[in-house]
């Protein structure tokens, strides 16, 4: 278990058990958010590649109202 520290003014101290638990939850949520963003970007890149294979681009979709 890695120690985490909190800065209270000029004093650095170890997290309490409650603070540590919340930090772990926050870090897991942050990691999940990063993963979701990466998946969205991967889908966007794949969709753009498919459009390019069809000889289309984003502007063509906008012109079609999509």
* Out of 17-21, 35-39, 45-49, 57-61, least confident range: 57-61
What is the spatial distance between Cα 1 and Cα 26, in angstroms, rounded to a whole number? Answer: 16
Residue 55 in domain: yes
**Alpha-carbon separation of residue 5 from 2, 11, 12, 15, 32 (angstroms):** 10, 10, 6, 5, 23
Question: For residue 34, how far is the Cα from the chain centroid?
Answer: 2
Residue 10 in domain: no
Residue 59 in domain: yes
Question: Average pLDDT of the chain?
Answer: 86
| pTM attached to this predicted model | 0.64
More confident: 30 or 60 = 30
What is the spatial distance between Cα 20 and Cα 2, in angstroms, rounded to a whole number? Answer: 10
Residue 11 in domain: no
Q: Which residue has the tokens 């650095």?
A: 12
Residue 52 in domain: yes
Per the structure, the complete domain to which residue 36 belongs is given by 18-63
Domain total of the chain: 1
Residue 1 in domain: no
């Amino acid at each position: 278990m890695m120690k985490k520290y909190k800065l209270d003014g000029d004093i650095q101290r170890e997290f309490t058990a409650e603070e540590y638990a919340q930090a772990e939850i926050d870090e897991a949520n942050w990691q999940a958010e990063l993963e979701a963003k990466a998946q969205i970007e991967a889908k966007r890149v794949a969709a753009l590649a498919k459009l390019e294979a069809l000889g289309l681009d984003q502007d063509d979709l906008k012109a079609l109202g999509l």
